Amino acid sequence: MSAGTIAVLDYGIGNLASAHRALVHLGADARLVQEAGDADGAAGVVLPGVGAFGRCAEALADSGLDKVARHALDNAVPFLGICVGFQLLYEGSEESPGTAGLGAIPGTVGRLPAGEKCPQIQWNPLRAVGARPSAILAGLPADPWMYFVHSFVPPIGPDTVATCDYGGDINAAIERDHIWGTQFHPEKSGTLGLAVLANFVARTGSSRGATEP
């Protein structure tokens, strides 16, 4: 893979095409990757995902692309997990007991709060949390609206940089050094979602000549 290319992990599940198209629209040199060796030298890695945690974890392992994800996580390569790809950053999920996640972030993914419609399928404004500046949310207005589709969510922790209200505060985005994750779908969240992806592209240094979000 050429220097500056973002690898979008194509393990047969998820919003792969839409995430890839959004990155290319932003001017990134992004490529769908199906073989682990094709991601060698990637400037950044994106792990999308929709559906069940266990099915996504198994498909990622079966494809061999879990090795790409683990290499990026362990070697300071900018990494973005989206929706279930975000959940896979954790140790496991109540949705799929006994199935291990990537374990980059401690904690277990849980079901949305009782009493709320499940899944959450709606636009919902983010609330920035924490005192430190967030690279994910850089340049965005206060309380930006993003699009969510999910039944489970990781716990709020020290890496959480944004929450949303759904029967109480829930984890919407995390940032730990080079590891970013969003429970919302930035590629489906209009101009503000593209701004989140543009922040990731800037973090990787990947560019073919950016297009305005």
pLDDT given at position 15: 65
pLDDT at 117 over 70: yes
pLDDT in tens, 42-62: 999 999 999 999 999 999 999
The separation between CA 34 and the C-alpha centre of its own chain, rounded to angstroms, equals 18
Q: What is the pLDDT of residues 134-153, one digit of tens each?
A: 999 999 999 999 999 999 99
pLDDT of residue 14: 67
List the domain boundaries for the chain. 5-204
Percent of the chain with pLDDT over 70: 95
Instruction: Name the residues annotated as catalytic.
Output: 83, 185, 187
- Report pLDDT digits (tens) over 167-181: 999 999 999 999 999
CA atoms within 13 A on the CB side of 150: 33
**For the domain 5-204, what is the CATH code?**
3.40.50.880
pLDDT at 198 over 70: yes
- Span 189-196, mean pLDDT? 98
Residues in the chain: 213
Q: Alpha-carbon distance 77 to 114, whole Å?
A: 37
- pLDDT confidence of residue 208: 62
Structure tokens at 121: 């399928």
Mean per-residue pLDDT, 9-17: 85
For 47, the token pair is 């792990």
State the DSSP code for 209: S
Query: Can the peptide bond before residue 119 be classed as cis, meaning omega within 30 degrees of 0?
Result: yes
For residue 210, what pLDDT is reported? 43
Q: In sequence order, what DSSP letters do the residues of 94-147 get, joined into one string?
A: TTSTT-----SEEEEEEEPPTTS-SSEEEEEE-EE-SSS--STTTTPPSS-EEE
Quick check: 109 and 87 in contact, CB under 8 A? yes
Q: What does the block give as tokens for 196? A: 């989140």
Question: Residue 204's pLDDT is what?
Answer: 96
Q: How far apart (Å, rounded) are the C-alpha atoms in residues 40 and 129?
A: 35
Tell me how far apart the alpha carbons of residues 170 and 144 are, in angstroms, rounded to a whole number.
15
- Residue carrying structure tokens 């993003």: 146
Whether residue 13 is predicted with pLDDT greater than 90 in this model: the reply is no
User: For residue 11, is pLDDT > 80?
Assistant: yes
How much is the mean pLDDT over the chain? 94
pLDDT in tens, 71-109: 999 999 999 999 999 999 999 999 999 999 999 999 999
